[in-house]
Amino acid sequence: MTVEQDGAVVVVGGGVIGLTTAVLLAERGRRVRLWTREPVERTTSAVAGALWWPYRIRPVTQARTWALDSLGVYEELAARPEVTGVRMAEGVLGGTRVEDVAGWAAARLPGLRASTAGEYLGAGVWARLPLIDMAVHLPWLRDRLTTAGGTVETREVGDLREVPAPVVVNCTGLGARALVPDPSVRPVRGQLVIVENPGVRGWLVSTDAASGGMAYCFPQPGRLVLGGTAQEDDWSAEPDPAVAEAIVRRCAALRPQIAGARVLEHRVGLRPARPAVRLEAEPLPDGRLLVHNYGHGGAGVTVAWGCARQAARLARR
Protein backbone atom coordinates (compact mmCIF):
# COMPACT_ATOMS: atom_id res chain seq x y z
CA MET A 1 0.00 0.00 0.00
CA THR A 2 1.38 3.40 -1.00
CA VAL A 3 0.47 6.00 1.58
CA GLU A 4 -0.05 9.61 0.50
CA GLN A 5 1.95 12.48 1.95
CA ASP A 6 1.36 13.92 5.41
CA GLY A 7 -1.61 16.25 5.57
CA ALA A 8 -3.75 14.11 3.32
CA VAL A 9 -7.06 12.85 4.62
CA VAL A 10 -9.50 10.39 3.11
CA VAL A 11 -13.05 10.67 4.46
CA VAL A 12 -15.05 7.53 3.78
CA GLY A 13 -18.81 8.07 3.52
CA GLY A 14 -20.76 10.58 1.45
CA GLY A 15 -23.74 11.29 3.70
CA VAL A 16 -24.21 14.50 5.65
CA ILE A 17 -21.70 13.44 8.35
CA GLY A 18 -18.97 12.60 5.84
CA LEU A 19 -19.58 15.65 3.66
CA THR A 20 -19.65 18.07 6.58
CA THR A 21 -16.50 16.56 8.08
CA ALA A 22 -14.72 16.72 4.73
CA VAL A 23 -15.75 20.36 4.21
CA LEU A 24 -14.45 21.38 7.63
CA LEU A 25 -11.12 19.59 7.14
CA ALA A 26 -10.63 21.03 3.65
CA GLU A 27 -11.41 24.56 4.80
CA ARG A 28 -8.82 24.13 7.54
CA GLY A 29 -6.16 23.46 4.96
CA ARG A 30 -6.12 19.66 4.77
CA ARG A 31 -5.91 17.86 1.42
CA VAL A 32 -9.17 15.94 1.48
CA ARG A 33 -10.54 13.17 -0.69
CA LEU A 34 -14.08 12.01 -0.01
CA TRP A 35 -14.83 8.41 -0.98
CA THR A 36 -18.51 7.54 -1.24
CA ARG A 37 -20.12 4.28 -2.29
CA GLU A 38 -23.14 6.10 -3.72
CA PRO A 39 -23.50 9.58 -5.21
CA VAL A 40 -24.46 11.96 -2.42
CA GLU A 41 -27.99 12.27 -3.83
CA ARG A 42 -28.55 8.54 -3.15
CA THR A 43 -27.19 8.29 0.39
CA THR A 44 -29.35 7.69 3.46
CA SER A 45 -28.99 11.39 4.29
CA ALA A 46 -30.81 12.27 1.07
CA VAL A 47 -33.94 10.65 2.49
CA ALA A 48 -33.90 12.65 5.73
CA GLY A 49 -36.78 15.00 6.63
CA ALA A 50 -34.71 16.94 7.92
CA LEU A 51 -35.57 18.98 11.01
CA TRP A 52 -32.90 20.12 13.45
CA TRP A 53 -33.67 18.19 16.62
CA PRO A 54 -31.69 15.48 18.48
CA TYR A 55 -33.72 12.35 17.71
CA ARG A 56 -32.70 8.76 18.55
CA ILE A 57 -29.12 9.60 19.40
CA ARG A 58 -26.94 8.89 22.43
CA PRO A 59 -25.23 9.93 24.64
CA VAL A 60 -27.94 12.54 25.17
CA THR A 61 -25.83 15.21 26.92
CA GLN A 62 -23.06 15.09 24.33
CA ALA A 63 -25.58 14.97 21.48
CA ARG A 64 -27.17 18.17 22.75
CA THR A 65 -23.77 19.88 22.79
CA TRP A 66 -23.09 18.79 19.20
CA ALA A 67 -26.60 19.89 18.22
CA LEU A 68 -26.21 23.38 19.66
CA ASP A 69 -22.82 23.69 17.99
CA SER A 70 -24.48 22.80 14.69
CA LEU A 71 -27.42 25.12 15.31
CA GLY A 72 -25.21 28.19 15.03
CA VAL A 73 -23.99 27.05 11.62
CA TYR A 74 -27.49 26.36 10.34
CA GLU A 75 -28.70 29.75 11.54
CA GLU A 76 -26.01 31.35 9.39
CA LEU A 77 -26.77 29.14 6.39
CA ALA A 78 -30.47 30.03 6.66
CA ALA A 79 -29.63 33.50 5.37
CA ARG A 80 -29.38 31.91 1.89
CA PRO A 81 -32.03 29.14 1.86
CA GLU A 82 -32.26 28.93 -1.93
CA VAL A 83 -28.52 28.16 -2.08
CA THR A 84 -27.89 26.09 1.08
CA GLY A 85 -31.28 24.42 1.46
CA VAL A 86 -31.48 25.61 5.09
CA ARG A 87 -34.23 27.84 6.40
CA MET A 88 -35.61 28.70 9.81
CA ALA A 89 -39.19 27.44 10.07
CA GLU A 90 -41.91 27.56 12.69
CA GLY A 91 -43.66 24.47 13.99
CA VAL A 92 -44.75 22.35 16.92
CA LEU A 93 -43.09 19.51 18.77
CA GLY A 94 -46.10 17.58 19.98
CA GLY A 95 -45.74 15.61 23.20
CA THR A 96 -42.94 17.91 24.38
CA ARG A 97 -43.12 20.38 27.25
CA VAL A 98 -41.28 23.68 27.53
CA GLU A 99 -39.49 22.42 30.64
CA ASP A 100 -38.15 19.48 28.60
CA VAL A 101 -36.32 21.95 26.38
CA ALA A 102 -35.60 24.79 28.81
CA GLY A 103 -32.69 23.09 30.51
CA TRP A 104 -30.54 22.77 27.44
CA ALA A 105 -31.81 24.78 24.48
CA ALA A 106 -34.24 27.51 25.51
CA ALA A 107 -31.57 30.21 25.55
CA ARG A 108 -30.78 29.44 21.91
CA LEU A 109 -34.38 29.24 20.71
CA PRO A 110 -36.01 32.69 20.84
CA GLY A 111 -39.78 32.62 21.12
CA LEU A 112 -39.96 29.10 22.51
CA ARG A 113 -43.35 28.61 24.16
CA ALA A 114 -46.13 26.15 24.84
CA SER A 115 -48.23 25.53 21.75
CA THR A 116 -51.83 26.66 21.62
CA ALA A 117 -54.87 24.43 21.17
CA GLY A 118 -55.24 25.80 17.66
CA GLU A 119 -51.73 24.67 16.81
CA TYR A 120 -51.82 21.24 18.44
CA LEU A 121 -54.33 19.33 20.55
CA GLY A 122 -52.34 18.29 23.58
CA ALA A 123 -49.08 19.28 25.20
CA GLY A 124 -46.62 20.70 22.73
CA VAL A 125 -43.92 23.27 22.20
CA TRP A 126 -43.85 25.92 19.49
CA ALA A 127 -40.35 26.56 18.18
CA ARG A 128 -38.48 28.07 15.28
CA LEU A 129 -35.91 25.54 14.11
CA PRO A 130 -33.72 24.87 11.08
CA LEU A 131 -35.48 22.79 8.43
CA ILE A 132 -33.14 21.46 5.76
CA ASP A 133 -34.02 20.56 2.19
CA MET A 134 -31.54 17.73 1.63
CA ALA A 135 -32.02 17.75 -2.14
CA VAL A 136 -30.36 21.18 -2.09
CA HIS A 137 -28.13 20.88 0.97
CA LEU A 138 -26.13 17.77 0.04
CA PRO A 139 -25.08 19.00 -3.42
CA TRP A 140 -24.27 22.37 -1.84
CA LEU A 141 -21.97 20.65 0.68
CA ARG A 142 -20.31 18.74 -2.16
CA ASP A 143 -19.73 21.97 -4.09
CA ARG A 144 -18.39 23.68 -0.98
CA LEU A 145 -15.95 20.80 -0.54
CA THR A 146 -14.63 21.00 -4.10
CA THR A 147 -14.38 24.79 -3.87
CA ALA A 148 -12.13 24.27 -0.83
CA GLY A 149 -9.90 21.98 -2.89
CA GLY A 150 -11.34 18.63 -1.89
CA THR A 151 -12.31 15.88 -4.29
CA VAL A 152 -15.24 13.46 -4.36
CA GLU A 153 -14.81 9.92 -5.69
CA THR A 154 -17.43 7.22 -6.05
CA ARG A 155 -15.73 4.02 -4.93
CA GLU A 156 -16.17 0.99 -2.70
CA VAL A 157 -14.04 0.41 0.38
CA GLY A 158 -13.44 -3.15 1.53
CA ASP A 159 -11.10 -2.42 4.46
CA LEU A 160 -10.74 0.94 6.21
CA ARG A 161 -7.20 0.07 7.25
CA GLU A 162 -6.16 -0.33 3.63
CA VAL A 163 -7.16 3.20 2.60
CA PRO A 164 -3.87 4.86 1.51
CA ALA A 165 -3.78 8.02 3.60
CA PRO A 166 -2.06 9.12 6.82
CA VAL A 167 -5.50 9.96 8.26
CA VAL A 168 -8.70 8.11 7.43
CA VAL A 169 -12.04 9.33 8.77
CA ASN A 170 -14.76 6.71 8.96
CA CYS A 171 -18.17 8.30 8.34
CA THR A 172 -19.78 5.18 6.86
CA GLY A 173 -22.91 5.11 9.01
CA LEU A 174 -24.63 1.76 8.70
CA GLY A 175 -21.72 0.54 6.58
CA ALA A 176 -19.55 0.56 9.70
CA ARG A 177 -21.32 -2.61 10.79
CA ALA A 178 -19.33 -4.58 8.22
CA LEU A 179 -16.34 -2.31 7.65
CA VAL A 180 -15.12 -1.85 11.22
CA PRO A 181 -16.67 -4.38 11.91
CA ASP A 182 -19.12 -3.10 14.54
CA PRO A 183 -22.16 -5.35 15.14
CA SER A 184 -23.64 -2.76 17.53
CA VAL A 185 -24.61 -0.61 14.51
CA ARG A 186 -28.19 -1.47 13.57
CA PRO A 187 -30.69 -0.14 11.04
CA VAL A 188 -33.76 1.78 12.13
CA ARG A 189 -35.97 1.91 9.08
CA GLY A 190 -37.71 5.16 8.23
CA GLN A 191 -40.38 5.42 5.55
CA LEU A 192 -41.64 8.71 4.10
CA VAL A 193 -44.43 9.77 1.78
CA ILE A 194 -43.91 12.87 -0.35
CA VAL A 195 -47.13 14.65 -1.34
CA GLU A 196 -48.20 17.89 -2.94
CA ASN A 197 -48.48 20.49 -0.23
CA PRO A 198 -52.20 21.30 0.25
CA GLY A 199 -51.38 24.47 2.19
CA VAL A 200 -49.52 23.28 5.30
CA ARG A 201 -47.13 26.02 6.36
CA GLY A 202 -45.68 24.98 9.70
CA TRP A 203 -43.90 21.72 10.46
CA LEU A 204 -45.31 19.32 13.03
CA VAL A 205 -43.93 16.34 14.94
CA SER A 206 -46.17 14.14 17.06
CA THR A 207 -45.76 10.84 18.90
CA ASP A 208 -48.59 8.80 20.34
CA ALA A 209 -47.32 7.83 23.79
CA ALA A 210 -49.68 4.86 23.99
CA SER A 211 -48.91 3.23 20.65
CA GLY A 212 -45.51 4.73 19.91
CA GLY A 213 -46.87 5.76 16.52
CA MET A 214 -45.08 8.74 15.04
CA ALA A 215 -46.33 11.38 12.64
CA TYR A 216 -44.61 14.38 11.18
CA CYS A 217 -45.04 16.74 8.28
CA PHE A 218 -42.28 18.97 6.98
CA PRO A 219 -43.11 21.55 4.30
CA GLN A 220 -40.30 21.70 1.75
CA PRO A 221 -40.25 23.79 -1.45
CA GLY A 222 -42.79 22.28 -3.84
CA ARG A 223 -43.77 19.38 -1.60
CA LEU A 224 -44.75 18.13 1.84
CA VAL A 225 -42.73 15.37 3.53
CA LEU A 226 -44.85 13.01 5.63
CA GLY A 227 -43.51 10.48 8.11
CA GLY A 228 -42.73 8.34 9.65
CA THR A 229 -41.55 5.07 11.07
CA ALA A 230 -38.75 3.81 13.32
CA GLN A 231 -38.61 0.07 12.65
CA GLU A 232 -35.58 -1.40 14.39
CA ASP A 233 -33.47 -4.09 12.69
CA ASP A 234 -35.50 -3.82 9.48
CA TRP A 235 -33.21 -3.85 6.43
CA SER A 236 -35.90 -3.46 3.79
CA ALA A 237 -35.36 -0.47 1.50
CA GLU A 238 -38.64 -1.05 -0.34
CA PRO A 239 -41.64 1.16 0.50
CA ASP A 240 -44.50 -0.73 2.14
CA PRO A 241 -47.91 0.43 0.78
CA ALA A 242 -49.69 -0.38 4.04
CA VAL A 243 -47.13 1.62 6.02
CA ALA A 244 -47.49 4.52 3.56
CA GLU A 245 -51.26 4.54 4.01
CA ALA A 246 -50.87 4.57 7.80
CA ILE A 247 -48.42 7.47 7.60
CA VAL A 248 -50.84 9.57 5.54
CA ARG A 249 -53.70 8.64 7.86
CA ARG A 250 -51.78 9.70 11.00
CA CYS A 251 -50.69 12.98 9.42
CA ALA A 252 -54.21 13.75 8.16
CA ALA A 253 -55.54 13.24 11.68
CA LEU A 254 -53.30 16.13 12.74
CA ARG A 255 -53.69 18.30 9.63
CA PRO A 256 -56.98 17.35 7.87
CA GLN A 257 -56.05 19.12 4.62
CA ILE A 258 -53.44 16.40 4.02
CA ALA A 259 -56.15 13.81 3.34
CA GLY A 260 -56.36 13.26 -0.39
CA ALA A 261 -53.14 15.12 -1.21
CA ARG A 262 -51.56 13.72 -4.37
CA VAL A 263 -48.67 11.38 -3.65
CA LEU A 264 -45.48 12.30 -5.50
CA GLU A 265 -42.99 9.79 -4.17
CA HIS A 266 -42.23 7.13 -1.55
CA ARG A 267 -38.88 6.98 0.22
CA VAL A 268 -37.13 4.65 2.64
CA GLY A 269 -33.95 5.28 4.62
CA LEU A 270 -32.08 3.16 7.15
CA ARG A 271 -30.88 5.21 10.11
CA PRO A 272 -27.50 4.05 11.50
CA ALA A 273 -28.38 3.47 15.14
CA ARG A 274 -25.85 2.58 17.84
CA PRO A 275 -25.97 2.50 21.66
CA ALA A 276 -23.78 5.63 21.48
CA VAL A 277 -22.17 7.65 18.72
CA ARG A 278 -18.62 6.52 18.08
CA LEU A 279 -16.44 9.61 17.74
CA GLU A 280 -12.87 8.72 18.60
CA ALA A 281 -9.38 8.25 17.15
CA GLU A 282 -7.86 4.82 16.66
CA PRO A 283 -4.09 4.77 16.09
CA LEU A 284 -3.15 2.09 13.57
CA PRO A 285 -0.13 -0.22 14.00
CA ASP A 286 1.70 1.41 11.09
CA GLY A 287 1.50 4.88 12.67
CA ARG A 288 -1.46 6.14 10.67
CA LEU A 289 -4.69 7.37 12.26
CA LEU A 290 -8.25 6.13 11.84
CA VAL A 291 -10.92 8.52 13.16
CA HIS A 292 -14.42 7.11 13.66
CA ASN A 293 -17.46 9.36 13.32
CA TYR A 294 -20.57 7.20 12.96
CA GLY A 295 -23.68 5.88 14.71
CA HIS A 296 -25.73 9.09 14.76
CA GLY A 297 -29.13 7.40 14.55
CA GLY A 298 -31.85 9.81 13.44
CA ALA A 299 -29.86 12.96 14.21
CA GLY A 300 -27.06 13.06 11.65
CA VAL A 301 -28.17 16.39 10.20
CA THR A 302 -28.76 17.82 13.67
CA VAL A 303 -25.26 17.12 15.01
CA ALA A 304 -23.24 17.15 11.77
CA TRP A 305 -21.22 20.32 12.36
CA GLY A 306 -20.58 19.70 16.04
CA CYS A 307 -19.36 16.19 15.31
CA ALA A 308 -17.29 17.41 12.34
CA ARG A 309 -15.47 19.89 14.56
CA GLN A 310 -14.64 17.20 17.10
CA ALA A 311 -13.55 14.80 14.34
CA ALA A 312 -11.30 17.51 12.88
CA ARG A 313 -9.61 17.95 16.26
CA LEU A 314 -9.05 14.20 16.48
CA ALA A 315 -7.60 14.14 12.95
CA ARG A 316 -4.70 16.42 13.80
CA ARG A 317 -1.26 14.83 13.34
For 101-118, how does the pLDDT look when each residue is reduced to its tens digit (9 = 90+)?
988 999 999 999 999 999
Classify residue 242: in a domain, yes or no.
no
315 domain-assigned:
yes
Domain assignment present for 52: yes
Instruction: Specify if 21 maps to a domain.
Output: yes
133 phi/psi in degrees, rounded to 5: -90, 100
In contact, 70 and 51? CB cutoff 8 Å: no
Return d(Cα 246, Cα 260) in angstroms, integer: 13
Could you tell me the pLDDT band of residue 45, with boundaries at 50, 70 and 90? confident
Amino acid identity of 313? R
- How, if at all, do strands 223-227 and 186-195 pair? antiparallel
Identify the bridge partners of residue 193 per DSSP, sorted by sequence position. 226, 266
CB atoms within 10 A of CB 258: 24
**Distance of alpha carbon 214 from alpha carbon 43, whole angstroms:** 23
Q: Which range marks the domain in which residue 61 is found?
A: 1-85+133-184+275-317
Q: Is residue 269 in some structural domain?
A: no
120 part of a folded domain: no
One-letter amino acid of 271: R
Question: Which residues on adjacent β-strands are paired with residue 81?
Answer: none
Task: Return the pLDDT at 49.
Answer: 81
* Burial class of residue 8 in the structure, from the number of CB atoms within 10 Å of its CB (0-12 exposed, 13-18 middle, 19+ buried): middle
Residues 82-104 have pLDDT tens digits of: 999 999 999 999 999 999 998 89
Q: How far apart are CA 202 and CA 192, in angstroms?
A: 18
Looking at 176-240, list the stretches that DSSP marks H as alpha helix, in order from N- to C-terminal side: 176-179
In a domain, 254, yes or no: no
Contacts of 249 (CB under 8 A, 6+ apart): none
Strand 86-94 to 278-283 pairing? unpaired
285-308: pLDDT as tens digits = 999 999 999 999 999 999 999 999
Count the domains in the chain. Answer: 1
Answer whether residue 145 is part of any domain. yes
Q: What is the pLDDT of residues 226-254, one digit of tens each?
A: 998 999 999 999 999 999 999 999 999 99
Asked if residue 218 has pLDDT above 70, the reply is yes
The DSSP call for residue 301 is H
- pLDDT at position 7 over 80: no
3-class DSSP state of 47:
helix
Residue 114 C-beta-side C-alpha neighbours within 13 Å: 7
**CATH number, domain containing residue 4:** 3.40.50.720
CA–CA separation, 269 and 271 (whole Å)? 6
Instruction: List Cβ neighbours of 261 (8 Å cut-off, separation of 6 or more).
Output: 195, 196, 197, 198, 224, 248
